[in-house]
Amino acid sequence: MPLETVTKIAELRERLRPVRQAGQSIGLVPTMGYLHRGHAALVDRARAENDVVVVSVFVNPLQFGPKEDFASYPRDLDADRKLLAEHGADIVFAPSVEEMYPRPITTHIEVEELSVRLEGERRPGHFRGVATVVGKLFNIALPDRAYFGEKDYQQLQVIRRMVADLSFPLEIVGVPTVRDVDGVALSSRNVYLSPVERAAAPVLSRSLAAAADAIGGGTVDPQDIEAVVRGVLADEPLAAPDLVAVAAADTLEPIDPKAPPPSIALMLAVRIGRTRLLDQRVVAVP
Ligand code: AMP
């Protein structure tokens, strides 16, 4: 089946109604476009598990702060369509901002606590914008399953909590981070990096690997783990850490070294030049 492009909410609903009535399953992959192999891994997983695969491409203004890169965020729907066709997606849903928000939105989904900690503290309103648009996309597509990358680990946890709290009738599937050969997590924002900055970017995954080794060796005190990460990051003069978080993987609560959780989430936001890169790793406590 060739890839279909749908830009209107009503049209997507009409297209998917008979799918559901026929008892076929729908997988949704929400994205902001400028797709790469990381997004493709989500699409492949959705393709393997569902009858119909819908990928949304929407740069959501609600989740960008006033000083963030909404206007300059990279966009290329033709290239996205090519990648999606190659990976067997059925429908790309690419609405305009006016279609999604015909008037200023006054109703939001706020996942308390989880949304304001860590990355949420640094980007006020970000996770509220994410939860609101994802909830809206769920109401539009009514998927059986929705796919999210572990790269945005706190986002994945926020969405899981939203779905549990509000009883959204679908399953959330987390997909491991896809990396370049040098360990750099693929991201649409990597295009912002100059060659020199790109050469510095592997320091993120290197610092996470060092912390994983330390945890494997029995270190569970979050301050010690953070020091390992910061020590590696400090070796790279272009890297300015914005967030180094060590938390219980399932709740993102702080860790008590006397009662460590079964696994630890390491979450990083590091500025390299003007680009803010994220990376993450979940490590089982031995
Ligand atoms: P974005 O377009 O950046 O909003 O990302 C859309 C979805 O793709 C999110 O669920 C991301 O976590 C996921 N994603 C982005 N980069 C990667 C990657 N390198 N590996 C796996 N998933 C990713």
| Structural domains of the chain in order of their starting residue, each with its CATH number | 4-175 (3.40.50.620), 188-281 (3.30.1300.10)
Please give the full DSSP string across 182-245, using - where no structure is assigned: TSPBP-GGGGG--HHHHHHTTHHHHHHHHHHHHHHTT---HHHHHHHHHHHHHT-TTEEEEEEE
Q: Is 132 in the pocket of ligand 1 (CB under 6 A)?
A: no
> 74-130: per-residue pLDDT in tens?
999 999 999 999 999 999 999 999 999 999 999 999 999 999 999 999 999 999 999
Give, in order, the Cα–Cα distances in Å from 16 to each of 23, 27, 90, 260, 275: 11, 11, 11, 45, 38
Q: Which residues are annotated as a binding site?
A: 32-39, 63, 149-152, 155, 178, 186-189
Q: 89: CA distance to ligand 1 center in Å?
A: 16
Proportion of the chain above pLDDT 70, given as a percent: 100
| pLDDT of 246 above 90 | yes
Reported confidence tier of residue 1, pLDDT bands at 50, 70, 90? confident
Q: Is the pTM of this model over 0.95?
A: yes
User: Would residue 87 show up in a list of annotated catalytic residues for this protein?
Assistant: no
The atom of ligand 1 lying closest to the CA of 41 is 21
> 31-60: per-residue pLDDT in tens?
999 999 999 999 999 999 999 999 999 999
Q: Is 42 in the pocket of ligand 1 (CB under 6 A)?
A: yes
> 181-190: per-residue pLDDT in tens?
999 999 999 9
- Adjacent-strand bridge partners of 244: 268
Closest to 101 measured CA to CA, from 59, 163, 66: 59
Residue 181's pLDDT is what? Answer: 97
Largest alpha-carbon pair distance within the chain?
Answer: 57
Proportion of the chain above pLDDT 90, given as a percent: 100
Residue 103's pLDDT is what? Answer: 97
The atom of ligand 1 lying closest to the CA of 42 is 22
Q: Is 125 in the pocket of ligand 1 (CB under 6 A)?
A: no
Closest to 204 measured CA to CA, from 264, 121, 149, 281: 281
Residue 76's pLDDT is what? Answer: 98
Please give the full DSSP string across 138-168, using - where no structure is assigned: HHHH--SEEEEETTSHHHHHHHHHHHHHHT-
Span between the terminal Cα atoms of the chain, in Å: 47
Q: Is 151 in the pocket of ligand 1 (CB under 6 A)?
A: yes
Are residues 135 and 110 in contact, defined by beta-carbon separation less than 8 angstroms? no
Q: 148: CA distance to ligand 1 center in Å?
A: 7
* Strand blocks (E) in 36-170: 52-57, 91-93, 145-149
Average pLDDT along the chain: 98
Q: 39: CA distance to ligand 1 center in Å?
A: 5
39, 87, 108, 126: the catalytic one is 39
Q: Indicate the DSSP class of residue 255.
A: P
Residue 74 one-letter amino acid: P
> 135-162: per-residue pLDDT in tens?
999 999 999 999 999 999 999 999 999 9
Q: 258: CA distance to ligand 1 center in Å?
A: 34
Q: Is 270 in the pocket of ligand 1 (CB under 6 A)?
A: no
